[in-house]
Amino acid sequence: MIRRIEFTSRNKTIFMGASILGVVLIILGLIVDHNQPGRFWANFLLSGFYFTAFSVLAVAFMAIQYLASGAWSSGIKRIFEAMGMYIPVGIGVIVVIFLATFIGENNGMHAIYEWTHADVVKNDVVLQGKSGYLNMPFWLIRGVFFLAIWALAGRAYRKYSLNEDEVGGMLNYNKSFRLSAFFLPFFGFTFCVASWDWLMSIQPHWYSTIFGVNVFASSLVGCMTLTNLIIIILKKNGKMEWVNENHMHDVSKFMFGFSIFWCYTWVSQYLLIWYANLPEETPYYLMRMHGGWKSLFFINLSLNFFAPFLLFMMRDAKRNLNWVLFVCIVLLLAKYIDWYMIIMPMTAGKDSGFGFYEIGFWLFFAGIFAYIVGASLAKANLLPKNHPYLVESLHHDI
Binding site for other proteins (CB under 8 A): 1, 67-69, 71, 125-126, 129-130, 133, 168-170, 174, 181, 185, 188-189, 192, 196, 205, 207-213, 241-242, 244, 253, 257, 260, 264-265, 267-278, 280, 313-315, 383, 385-392, 394-395, 397-398
Q: What angle do CA 247, 252, 253 make, to 5 degrees?
A: 100
Question: At its nearest, how many Å lie between other proteins and the CB of residue 336?
Answer: 24
Question: At its nearest, how many Å lie between other proteins and the CB of residue 9?
Answer: 29
Nearer to other proteins, 100 or 179 (CB): 179
Question: At its nearest, how many Å lie between other proteins and the CB of residue 59?
Answer: 18
Question: At its nearest, how many Å lie between other proteins and the CB of residue 238?
Answer: 11
**Cβ atoms of 50 and 339 closer than 8 Å:** yes
Question: At its nearest, how many Å lie between other proteins and the CB of residue 211?
Answer: 8
Question: At its nearest, how many Å lie between other proteins and the CB of residue 175?
Answer: 12
Rg, Å, the chain Cα set? 21
Nearer to other proteins, 21 or 162 (CB): 162
Nearer to other proteins, 28 or 242 (CB): 242
Nearer to other proteins, 27 or 267 (CB): 267
Question: At its nearest, how many Å lie between other proteins and the CB of residue 93?
Answer: 24
Nearer to other proteins, 9 or 123 (CB): 123
Question: Residue by residue, what is the 3-state secondary structure of the chain?
Answer: CCCCCCCCHHHHHHHHHHHHHHHHHHHHHHHHCCCCHHHHHHHHHHHHHHHHHHHHHHHHHHHHHHHCCCCHHHHHHHHHHHHHCCHHHHHHHHHHHHHHCCCCCCCCHHHHCHHHCHHHHHCCHHHHHHCCCCCHHHHHHHHHHHHHHHHHHHHHHHHHHHHHHHHCCCHHHHHHHHHHHHHHHHHHHHHHHHHHHHCHHHCCCCCCCCHHHHHHHHHHHHHHHHHHHHHHHHHHCCCCCCCCHHHHHHHHHHHHHHHHHHHHHHHHHHHHHHHHCCCCCCHHHHHHCCCCHHHHHHHHHHHHHHHHHHHCCCCHHHCCHHHHHHHHHHHHHHHHHHHHHHHHHHHCHHHCCCCHHHHHHHHHHHHHHHHHHHHHHHHCCCCCCCCCCHHHHHCCCC
**Dist CA 252 CA 230 (whole Å):** 13
Nearer to other proteins, 90 or 212 (CB): 212
Nearer to other proteins, 64 or 95 (CB): 64
Nearer to other proteins, 10 or 166 (CB): 166
Nearer to other proteins, 8 or 174 (CB): 174
Question: At its nearest, how many Å lie between other proteins and the CB of residue 358?
Answer: 29
Question: At its nearest, how many Å lie between other proteins and the CB of residue 338?
Answer: 17
**Dist CA 395 CA 398 (whole Å):** 10
**Dist CA 27 CA 355 (whole Å):** 12
Nearer to other proteins, 178 or 350 (CB): 178
**Dist CA 267 CA 398 (whole Å):** 32
Question: At its nearest, how many Å lie between other proteins and the CB of residue 36?
Answer: 30
**Cβ atoms of 10 and 81 closer than 8 Å:** no
